Amino acid sequence: MIFYNRISPWRLYNFTSWFWRDHRKITVIDSQIAYTGSLGIKSYMSGWRDTHVRITGRVVDQIQDAFEQMWHAAKIDKKFFRFKKRHYSANEFNFLINSPYERNRFIRRAFITAIKSAREYIYLTTPYFVPDLGFFRELIRAAKRNVDVRLLLPGLSDHKILDVASASYIGLSLRAGIRVFKYRTDRFMHAKTAIVDNIWSTIGSVNLDNLSFRYSYEGNIVSFNAAFNQELKEQFLADLAQGQEITAFDWSKRPLFDKIYEMLTWPIHDFF
């Protein structure tokens, strides 16, 4: 067992390095089978709503390679590790990574490319929605060209401050034509999935927030397989049926203090 980037009190002078975490959820068995998605292995997470996949084929090599590079980084205690450059291949399934090194933010770039190409729908599930403005702007542009953009958020998450920060985007989303849904409050929605036009989908560890896109080591499966994408779409719609849509009218009626708290989170969104 190896731990990556242990938190040390004497690193207070460089506290942002604490954000450089290995957030991936990867299991590789005999180089033949891999599991990945949003599932964390902790007892208190057992009742959470997660989406995880079992996968075989050539993509397992990509997942194992990413694991081995991360293992090497942890073993030499290197806090800011630059991964080998990765590109899409001709496979129906590929494993992409994100890291604090800007040139290695492949998952974010894949998201942006897919959103820009969307013509029918974009379905997003995320437990935390605090995206950078560039990402959010592309979602707004998609909605304005009549793409059906739907965002599924948890009714309540495990971090109150992140609920408030996420809420600060809801009014802007509704005004732009993005439909926002809240999942049931008795079960934390922790899945991280996206489906675009039944052509492209992704599932993995990436949250739609700055911590994932800018600071963490993340890993996602990206799929061009129509059957897989359809199954993920059906699961999204089933989850949506257990949630409630937020209307602009209802949102405008929330308490004044909630609006103030949301506004106060904007200066620190880069750290969420």
Q: What is the pLDDT of residues 238-254, one digit of tens each?
A: 999 999 999 999 999 99
Per domain, the residue ranges of the chain are: 21-271
Query: What's this model's pTM, rounded to 2 decimal places?
Result: 0.91
For residue 190, indicate whether it is catalytic.
yes
DSSP letters for 132-151: -HHHHHHHHHHHHTT-EEEE
Q: What is the mean pLDDT of residues 29-40?
A: 95
Kindly report, residue by residue over 192-204, the tens digit of the pLDDT.
Answer: 999 999 999 999 9
Catalytic residue of the set 197, 209, 233, 239: 197
Task: Kindly name the residue from 22, 23, 209, 233 that is annotated as catalytic.
Answer: 23
Cα angle 127-203-188, degrees, rounded to a multiple of 5? 25
Provide mean pLDDT across the span 10-33.
79
Q: Kindly state the helix (H) or strand (E) to which residue 53 belongs, with its residue range.
A: strand 52-56
The pLDDT confidence band at residue 169, using thresholds 50, 70 and 90, is: very high
Type of residue numbered 24: R
Radius of gyration (C-alpha) of the chain in whole angstroms: 18
> What residue type is assigned to position 200 of the chain?
W
Tell me the percentage of the chain whose pLDDT exceeds 70.
90
Q: What is the largest CA-CA distance in the chain?
A: 56
Confidence of residue 72 (pLDDT cuts 50, 70, 90): confident
| Residue among 22, 163, 192, 239 flagged as catalytic | 192
How many alpha carbons lie under 13 Å from residue 266 in its C-beta half-sphere? 9
- Residue 136, pLDDT above cutoff 60: yes
The number of beta carbons lying within 10 Å of the beta carbon of residue 129 is: 26
Calpha distance 138→108 (Å, rounded): 12
Question: Which residue from 219, 206, 200, 36 is spatially nearest to 132, judged by alpha carbons?
Answer: 206
71 — pLDDT class (breaks 50, 70, 90): confident
Range with the lowest mean pLDDT among 75-84, 183-192, 200-209? 75-84
Q: Is 25 a catalytic residue?
A: yes
Instruction: Mark whether 23 is an active-site residue.
Output: yes
Class of domain 21-271: alpha beta
The C-alpha atoms of residue 35 and residue 118 are separated, in whole angstroms, by 28
- 2 burial type by CB count under 10 A (0-12 exposed, 13-18 middle, 19+ buried): exposed
- Element holding 56 (H helix, E strand): strand 52-56
Considering 22, 163, 190, 233, which one is annotated as catalytic? Answer: 190
Does residue 197 have an active-site annotation?
yes
